[in-house]
Amino acid sequence: MASALMVASGNDPYQKALAQIGADNLRSYQVTGEDTHGGFLGDGETHNIFSNLEAGQVARVIGSPGWSTLPLSHGLACTLYGEEYHGIAYDAWFHGILPIEAGAWFFLDKQNPKKSYDDAEIYRIYAGSSANIVIGLYDAQTQAVHYLAFDS
């Protein structure tokens, strides 16, 4: 995983990712991450962790439209950790994501953007032929915001 200490500016490469999860008000942070996107279609996964946040920034993020307090929706839990639902086993799309006990979450389907999704919609995305999703996770214990993207 790569690591960088950032103070947001006009050329900050992470601001586009933060804007997708309504967290573009984060201005000073340390970021570690990994991105496997590549190839002709640009498929892959991204996992960035934004930590060392300034006081008060997180409250504005998780208060933004689209954020929900934990627990995760069942559909989102399947996407992150893999689970069984109605007799169907779902593999995790992301690997190495530790369970978060307290915090908040955000979900965006880039092919059908809106502010909230029910479990049935998330399962349809999971079962579809392609997916372009973004997930935001706030871990209250570590005071970190996770940005996850999956493109297939």
Q: What is the pTM of this model?
A: 0.86
Check: CB of residue 67 under 8 Å from CB of residue 110.
no
**Could you tell me which of 2, 108, 13, 118 has the C-alpha nearest to residue 49?**
2
H/E element, 145: strand 144-151
CB 6 within 8 A of CB 28: yes
* pLDDT per residue as tens digits for the range 6-16: 555 556 778 88
| Residue entry with tokens 């201005």 | 27
When mean pLDDT is compared over 1-15, 25-39, 58-72, 85-99, the highest value belongs to: 58-72
